Structure 1
């Protein structure tokens, strides 16, 4: 079963409907760190700060993984607060549509940790 972590709080939805409710709850926060963990070691992370959000997909713990890329030019950087309070800065060119991030989280859940292919990924 896919487990989630929302700003450090572990959550264990058991159906697509429960994932939908979890994402509705997440949407209320404008700044967060959301992880989804599959039993096979794959994980998907979404970082959001207001209108900026991006994804990171890892094949296993310690993997350099993949990060999302925007299909439109987005100059500059955006800051994101991790659940441990650390603030990191990432290029806005990594940020994608927030709804696409939520769709990717639901897809990851429904497909046992598969990487959403419609996201423009960069292998890091």
Structure 2
């Protein structure tokens, strides 16, 4: 079972329909922190601020993980508000299309926490 947290609150995502509703809710929000996880297993995090979004994939709790790779030539940072109110900057080069991020969450959900292979990853 995949657990889903949106801005720190648990969201029902047991069925494909529930996941679709959760992702529709997230899509309506210009900023969020979304975590999808398999208990004691892989985790996928999506951070979004307007048109900027990126992913982080962890094989297991405490893992250094992977982050998404967008255009490596994009300079500067995008800033994201975390669930706890903290604002962190991450390279724009890590940002990818918002819809590609949502597709990755759907893939993760439908494939028992497998790392989405349509994303370019860097460790």
Unaligned runs of 5+ in 1: none
Does residue 48 of structure 1 match 2:28? Answer: no
Does residue 90 of structure 1 match 2:90? Answer: yes
* Residue in 2 that maps onto 1:60: 60
* Residue in 1 that maps onto 2:105: 105
The alignment partner of 2:106 has SS state of helix
* Residue in 2 that maps onto 1:26: 26
Query: What is the distance in 2 between the residues matched to 1:47 and 1:121?
Result: 15
Kept in 1: contact 2:71–2:94 (CA 8 A)? no
Query: What is the distance in 2 between the residues matched to 1:45 and 1:97?
Result: 15
C-alpha deviation, 1:41, in angstroms = 1.4
- Taking structure 1 as the reference length, what is the TM-score of the superposition? 0.95
Misfit runs of 4+, over 4 Å: none
- Taking structure 2 as the reference length, what is the TM-score of the superposition? 0.96
Aligned length: 123
C-alpha deviation, 1:80, in angstroms = 0.5
Q: Deviations over 1:49-75 (max 9, x none)?
A: 011000000001111100000046322
Kept in 2: contact 1:31–1:81 (CA 8 A)? yes
